[in-house]
A = this chain, B = another copy of it.
Amino acid sequence: MEWTTIVGLILGFASMSGVLLLGKTEASLATFVDPPALLMVFGGAAAVALIGFPSRQLQNLFSILKKPFLSRLEEPSELINELVSLAELARKDGLLALEARAWQIRDPFVALGIQLAVDGTRPEVVAEIMNNEVEARATRHREAKKIVELVGRCGPAFGMIATLLGLILMLGNLENPDTIGPSMAIALIGTLYGALLANLICIPLGEKLSYLSHEELLVRQIVIRGVLAIQAGDNPRVVRQKLDMFLPPRLREQPYAQAG
């Protein structure tokens, strides 16, 4: 589902290439590669991240940044099916029967919950441990988003700094008028990088991180409710009803008319 992130990035850069093709210039994309500006903008972005956040958060960043590209979001309806089938098993053969099937559970958070339930942990402790885990994960997501936002906020400034450096060097040495144009062109590339870093990457990526995080927390709430319902020995049909409440209507198993 997360192919949109990659398609979006490709589309953004393809649009830039399209400008060159449509513009009928002989210029190639290489015109827009300027190592000093790259160094300034990406060095500055890294500097800002290092100054603004402790190393522990920066380490989390990479594992979280993979998400908008790689992770396949758990479909809530599949998850509910799995929890309902676990509830059926628990209802039929007892809670301990789940232990034999625990290794088949794909989602590690469901597996943790089932394990806790099988071990006879008291329900309120199960809930506290699982909520704690969810809260810790939410904090890591918020922190990753904050880093992306800080870089997005300062990125254009480092682009402008690269441009200022270029202009200052150029203006200090105007002897050869022929080089003014190309020097200014190169100076402006810094501004271009800063604008792309912020507007094509950081701002929309922060938005998707925030969405994915919200979605994941919703899914985990479903799991917590499901595990507690299984532990309580709820009827599988009741389990499904309870969990369906979290879904948008069109994804629910039972249409309205029969729900009454």
| Known contacts A48-B203, A54-B208, A256-B116; is-contact A248 B192 (Cβ 8 Å) | no
Taking CB atoms and an 8 Å cut-off, the chain A residues in 69-118 that contact chain B are: 73, 112, 115-116
Judging by beta carbons under 8 Å apart, are A23 and B169 in contact? yes
What residues on B are CB-neighbors of A16 within 8 Å? 40, 161, 165
What residues on B are CB-neighbors of A205 within 8 Å? 51-52
Instruction: Tell me the bound Cα distance from A14 to B160 in angstroms.
Output: 17
Task: Select the stretch in A119-127, A219-227, A232-240 that faces chain B.
Answer: A119-127
Instruction: Tell me the bound Cα distance from A162 to B16 in angstroms.
Output: 8
Complex partner residue of A5 from B51, B56, B58, B158, CB under 8 angstroms: B51
What residues on B are CB-neighbors of A63 within 8 Å? none
Judging by beta carbons under 8 Å apart, are B165 and A7 in contact? no
Judging by beta carbons under 8 Å apart, are B154 and A171 in contact? no
What residues on B are CB-neighbors of A122 within 8 Å? 260
Give me the 8 closest cross-chain CB pairs, A-B, nearest first. A121-B260, A15-B43, A8-B50, A12-B47, A52-B204, A8-B51, A52-B207, A171-B185
What residues on B are CB-neighbors of A181 within 8 Å? 170-174
What residues on B are CB-neighbors of A39 within 8 Å? 15, 18-19, 22
What residues on B are CB-neighbors of A48 within 8 Å? 8, 12, 199-200, 203-204
Please list 20 pairs of residues, one from A and one from B, whose beta carbons are closer than 8 Å in the complex, sorted by A's number. A2-B54, A7-B50, A8-B47, A8-B48, A11-B43, A20-B169, A22-B36, A27-B172, A31-B168, A49-B204, A51-B68, A53-B211, A54-B208, A54-B215, A128-B245, A136-B249, A150-B203, A153-B203, A164-B192, A172-B182
What residues on B are CB-neighbors of A164 within 8 Å? 188, 191-192, 195
A161 nearest in chain B by CB position = B195
| Known contacts A116-B260, A188-B168; is-contact A204 B15 (Cβ 8 Å) | no
Taking CB atoms and an 8 Å cut-off, the chain A residues in 1-39 that contact chain B are: 1-5, 7-9, 11-12, 14-16, 18-20, 22-23, 25, 27, 31-32, 35-37, 39
What residues on B are CB-neighbors of A27 within 8 Å? 169, 172-173
